[in-house]
Structure 1
Amino acid sequence: MAAPMELFCWAGGWGLPSVDPDCLAVLTYARFTGAPLKVHRVTSPWRSPSGHLPALRTRDEGIISKPQQIITHLRKQKYNADYDLSATQSADTLAFVSLLEEKLLPVLIHTFWVDAKNYVEHTRKWYAETIPFPLNFFLPNAMHKRHLERLQLIWGDDYMEDEEKLEKELYREARECLTLLSQRLGSQKFFFGDSPASLDALVFSRLAPLLKAKLPNGKLQQHLKSLQNLCNYCTSILSLYFPWDGGEPLTGVPRAAGTDGSEAEEDPHKRRKQLLSVLVGLVAMLGYAFLSGIVSIQRGSVGPAGRQPVTLEEEEEEEEE
């Protein structure tokens, strides 16, 4: 029997199997199609073979890191959620994907990563508590910077000229996008009837984090919660396709092999990789501290007090299904 494809994605939280929308889209599409994936839920992109999440390790094409390319690869392997769609439905899929990327995604990035209250009290807090020490000191800030640059690239030069006015307009368009999705879904189980398609995986991956996160500033979240059919849609997909891994946060105790019908992978180099991650992270953190002036070296006598040993703890464990 051929070895299964391996998917590396961000760990779960907020009642979701993964907190990252791109990872959630790939996970959901795989569940829709029954693709045989060995899933590694990790708490640092350094645990990924590509250094990015999500990442799919395949036997024939190596490592694939972009979500759409991962889904395309699954289709090539005969796991196609859009196989039965008509030409009109395929055209509708392209139109709604474009709408989501243009009108909704930028506002979701702003909601989680740019809005100061949400970022400090929710997003950064979760990642800082989940990412292992010492990476949690600088990875959340690096992710924040990357998302800010991505948002500025999407919004263009207008973002810097009148940020408040632009945000107001874009949040209005995002609310209209949610309303349009609600009207298109209606009372159906999925967007094209009783069977899920790739559009459902994308919509769910965008809406579920917004619905489940406990955001202190939930302007867009409140509008989503007022659209009951979209809320029921997200809840239904979670219960149907993720009934046993609803995103409980990882603990310091690894699960026993086979506790959820899966195999636990024994990586002989795992401990070495962990130590290397800690050492590289520690060097990067110390380098940042010296460059920023937080720490400086001064010549002088050393006091009699003995130094306390520094201990490193790693509470993150891989979860696989």
Structure 2
Amino acid sequence: MVTLYQIGRAPNTPSLTPFAIKLETYLRAANIPYKNDHRGKASSKGKVPWISYQGKAIADSDFSLEFLNKERNVDLNSHLSDEQKGAGRAFQKMVEENTYWVLVLDRWLYDKTNGTAKTFGIPSIMRWLPRSRFVGMAKKQGIGRHSKAEVEQILRNDVNAISCYLGSKKFLFGDKISQYDMAVFGQLAAMKYEPFGGMAGGVVDEFSTVCSYLDRIKTEFWPDWDECTTGGGTRKATK
């Protein structure tokens, strides 16, 4: 049994962090038994999510996937060519190293309702602290130095690239889901279904191909999605 350490459930998604959505979706797709620990306990690297398995603690979502692939003899990419694996790696790095920071800014800078801070139970007098931390990290990364309009265009370009590549395919590389789909789903599902700030979710909603793709993954691997949220999944799937 894998123990998945992450923060608590969110109003409309199983987690506020897209990396936990990615990792939990992988566990479901790979049919690996797991249980959640929602206490927010950080890994040895000071982050969540992470896993423990048979006495071993593995920090970082990607290293957790690689570890379980070896331990459980799982390969969700076995049907991919080397060329597809290269494209998948590129898409994963795009969404996790670039697109992700749009989500950070949308939740901590653009959202005037303080939805993320409220979900974490942060008192109003203390909300400036995580806001300052996350916005500062985005500036160090670089994307936080752009205007909101420029950040929105960066996101639109990223989602458009995914939309164009998807075309009429069920998943990124055809009828079978891959490990790279987990990364894309984690990031974009966090924007579409938990749209604090509104900008990121609104951009994703512009792309019907991507919305249908997210809904397919959600329906197939998360039939209990609403039960895995604190608000009952009030933002429903696209019709």
TM-score normalised by the shorter chain: which range applies? 0.7 to 0.9
> Identity of counterpart residues, as a percentage?
22
Residues 13 and 229, structure 2, Cα contact 8 Å, conserved in 1: yes
Residue 191 (structure 2) aligns with: 210
- Asked whether 1:234 is paired with 2:214, we answer yes
2:128, 2:57 → 1: CA distance?
A: 26
Residues 165 and 172, structure 2, Cα contact 8 Å, conserved in 1: yes
Residue 177 (structure 2) aligns with: 196
1:149, 1:30 → 2: CA distance?
A: 33
- SS at structure 1 position matched to 2:168: coil
Equivalent AA in structure 2 for residue 238 of structure 1: K
TM-score (ref. length: structure 1)? 0.64
Match runs of 1:119-134 below 5 Å: 120=114, 122-128=115-121
Gaps of 5+ in 2: 233-239
1:92, 1:243 → 2: CA distance?
A: 29
Task: Give the superposed CA RMSD.
Answer: 2.6
Residue 107 (structure 1) aligns with: 102
Residues 17 and 242, structure 1, Cα contact 8 Å, conserved in 2: no
Equivalent AA in structure 1 for residue 11 of structure 2: W
1:245, 1:174 → 2: CA distance?
A: 25
- SS at structure 2 position matched to 1:117: coil
Residues 34 and 79, structure 1, Cα contact 8 Å, conserved in 2: no
1:141, 1:69 → 2: CA distance?
A: 32
Farther off after superposition, 193-202 or 11-20: 11-20
TM-score (ref. length: structure 2)? 0.84
Residues 49 and 60, structure 2, Cα contact 8 Å, conserved in 1: yes
Residue 178 (structure 1) aligns with: 159
2:126, 2:50 → 1: CA distance?
A: 18
Farther off after superposition, 16-25 or 241-250: 241-250
2:62, 2:78 → 1: CA distance?
A: 16
Residue 237 (structure 2) aligns with: none
Give CA-to-partner distance per residue, 1:83-119, whole Å, 9 cap, x none.
221111111112212322343122111111222515x
Of residues 44, 50, 57, the one that matches 1:63 is 57
Equivalent AA in structure 2 for residue 226 of structure 1: E
Gaps of 5+ in 1: 129-135, 252-321
Say how many residue pairs are matched. 228
Give CA-to-partner distance per residue, 1:20-43, whole Å, 9 cap, x none.
111111111111111222223x1x
Task: After TM superposition, give the deviation of residue 213 of structure 1 in Å.
Answer: 2.0
